[in-house]
Amino acid sequence: MKRMVATMLGIMGLAIVGASGSVILSDFDPIAIDFAGFTAPDPWSNDGGTGGALNWNTWAFSSGTRTEVAADFGTSTGTGRGTSTGGVTDNGIYAFEVAPGLNAWGFQATGGFGSPGSLTLRVQNNTGGVLKEISVAYTAWYYNDEPRAGVLRPYYSLTNDGTSGSYLQADGSNQDVNSPADADDPPVWVSNDRGYTLTDLDVAQGDFVYLRWGFNDSGSGRRDEWALSSITVTAIPEPGTFGLLALSGLALARFRRR
């Protein structure tokens, strides 16, 4: 069954959303988030995501906790520090080039900023019905140039109200990304591909699901740099829509052969 869904989604398109865009699930096409235009100006987010910033109606950064805080959309928290290839020490939000030609949203934490902390992405359901299931894939990066160990962990919420338990851990600890305590010599950006599926969501038409990446660390000394890239969000159709997808895919395949 899942192979059928993957096949049907493969026949359909891939929508790419830039740094300034909103993430709206209007059909069952995967939505890929592209940080190519993100330059981390100060402020690093604004209304509409202009001037190389992210859209603050879509993204929010919180410092001081990973879970028990509501993401404050419509404001910019933290200093935008511009572009870098890594090896920074000033705390704030960066546009890191984690690989040649690949831009990522990232941050440098310190004791007073981002440790713990979280980035939250707001995703709207506009499929025309109740959204039951979504899949999320992304690449988490760390630049292990400092002696503290760190962990990046995904969470999600249907309310974003900041109460205890409003943000739940996605897929247990299976999606954790951990940076070692001992610094690498020389340090390089290390990629970690992750993905999970959220089920039984019941997100009404027009409502939101909130995807969060929470960070914390342990040990002493300075902290590593962290980044996110290649985020993809896909609405998964309910079983009753499989037949319609199959017929649509068959019709499209026949059209392409003509």
CATH 2.60.120.260 for domain 2-257, yes or no, is yes
* pLDDT tens by residue, 175-217: 999 999 999 999 999 999 999 999 999 999 999 999 999 999 9
Judge residue 193's burial from the number of C-beta atoms within 10 Å of its C-beta, 0-12 exposed, 13-18 middle, 19 or more buried. exposed
Which two tokens mark 26? Answer: 């209007």
pLDDT at 241: 54
Calculate what percentage of the chain has a pLDDT beyond 90: 77
Cα–Cα distances in angstroms (integers) from residue 207 to residues 64, 128, 157, in the given order: 27, 11, 12
Judge whether residue 164 has pLDDT over 90. Answer: no
Q: Specify the pTM.
A: 0.88
Judge whether residue 64 has pLDDT over 90. Answer: no
